[in-house]
Amino acid sequence: MKINTNFENLKENYLFATIAERVAKHKADNPMKNIIRLGIGDVTLPLSRTVVNAMKKAADEMGDKPTFRGYGEYRGYDFLQNAIARYYAKNGVTLVRDEIFVSDGAKSDAGNFLDIFDKSNIVLNPDPVYPVYVDSNIMAGRKIIFTNGNESNGFLPMPCAKTRADIIYICSPNNPTGAVYTRDALRAWVDYANEQNALIIFDSAYEAFISDDNLPRSIFEIDGARTCAVEIGSLSKTAGFTGTRCGYTIVPMELMAGKHSINKLWYRRQATKFNGVSYVIQRGAEAVFTDEGLSECKANIDYYMGNARILCDALTSMGISHTGGTNSPYVWLRCPNGLGSWEFFDKLLNEANLVGTPGAGFGKMGEGYFRLTAFGSREDVIEAVDRLSKLK
Ligand code: MLT
């Protein structure tokens, strides 16, 4: 047998796996040290009561013959599709039930969605960028071009009419920089995509962290998006589902590639390769979108955003330039004293037992930058800023 040789073009390891290995080694060498982890964006607060109760009830149903369920619907159960549609309606976005495909999270869909597109498509990615968008296209052997985010454009690159692209990834609020596109900026991307006959894969995994009502939470708030975009949503950060796994992808009925309906193609792909998210988890996800569920999740998000404020205030007082942390759980900072991203990573780990994510792991424009997440416990965040401030 032969391997897919595109894998030879990948870095040896996925960014967060590399970090986990380095941290595990440091822990093995320093077993007594208390390591604070503000690296991977993993939540620390438990699931909300309403969600847990819904899952318990669903588990009981699975143990009773009259309410037991076998295989689910390929697009997800109607009760969850309807709950997601109602959530979008609150922001003025109308969705048809069959446009909503329930999934096991944003990461899988961000990679898998490419299954339905030819290898010859040119993929446009911002830089810095969530590595999944890049690595999954390297695996498929696609040409990837980049548009640069930097301090002068606020890490929000805009489309350039002269650049030809077929598939465009946009993440807003952005992972890793925390920057958020305005409505006008997203409109420019939507117009560009429609002119180019290109597809936008919009990752809205962090939309629940937006507190500024003027900022768009969904690309479908923008006119014209239904003919050029799909949106990938996730309950990982919104509702603490990183270990529970549930997300969704919205594929508008109007979205066409030539004579082909993208919705139909994605349905065809999912029905073949994916048997859905378990009934118990989908009931938990449904509970997220109830009034009680949303208010419990909001309390957790407020807690994390309190952490983000502590991180940002500390960086400001240390004179370290940073972005994000206001409508996003990520704080993106310039490494102090001109250090490279991995140099700063090593220094923080070795001298402060503090883990973050080197900006260079998100692309060449991330070199010299560093990402901290606000998903830690309050005590850890307070201790982390203390350790940061004592760093020589
Ligand atoms: C992140 O920290 O960027 C993500 O949570 C990691 C991932 O999804 O792989």
Name the residue ranges covered by the structural domains of the chain. 5-47+292-389, 49-291
pLDDT attached to residue 12: 85
Among 130, 135, 372, 375, which is best to mutate for testing ligand 1, by the most ligand atoms less than 8 A from CB?
Answer: 130
Cα(41) to ligand 1 centroid in Å equals 5
Measured CA to CA, the distance from residue 353 to residue 361 in angstroms comes to 20
What mean pLDDT is predicted for residues 11-17? 91
pLDDT over 90 at 284, yes or no: yes
What mean pLDDT is predicted for residues 55-71? 98
What mean pLDDT is predicted for residues 89-94? 95
Give residue-wise pLDDT tens across range 92-104: 999 999 999 999 9
Nearest CA to ligand 1 atom 1: 41
pLDDT attached to residue 392: 81
Cα(16) to ligand 1 centroid in Å equals 7
319-348 burial string, b = 16+ CB within 10 Å, else e? ebebbbbbbbbbbbbbbbeebbbbebbebb
Q: Do 5-47+292-389 and 49-291 share a fold?
A: no
Cα(22) to ligand 1 centroid in Å equals 17
Taking domain 5-47+292-389, whether its CATH number is 3.90.1150.10 is answered by yes
Among 175, 241, 362, which is best to mutate for testing ligand 1, by the most ligand atoms less than 8 A from CB?
Answer: 175
Ligand 1 binding site (Cβ under 6 Å of any ligand atom): 16, 40-41, 107, 130, 175
What mean pLDDT is predicted for residues 284-310? 98
Cα(105) to ligand 1 centroid in Å equals 11
DSSP string, 130-176: -HHHHHHHHHHT-EEEEEE--GGGTT-----TT---SEEEEESS-TT
CATH number of the structural domain 49-291? 3.40.640.10
176 Cα nearest atom in ligand 1? 3
Q: Work out the mean pLDDT of the chain and round it to a whole number.
A: 97
Bridge partners of residue 148, in order along the sequence: 127
Nearest CA to ligand 1 atom 3: 41
DSSP string, 246-258: -EEEE--TT-EET
Cα(130) to ligand 1 centroid in Å equals 8
Nearest to 82 by CA among 64, 92, 95: 95
pLDDT attached to residue 18: 93
What mean pLDDT is predicted for residues 216-223? 98
Nearest CA to ligand 1 atom 4: 41
What mean pLDDT is predicted for residues 14-41? 95
pLDDT over 90 at 382, yes or no: yes
pLDDT over 90 at 157, yes or no: yes
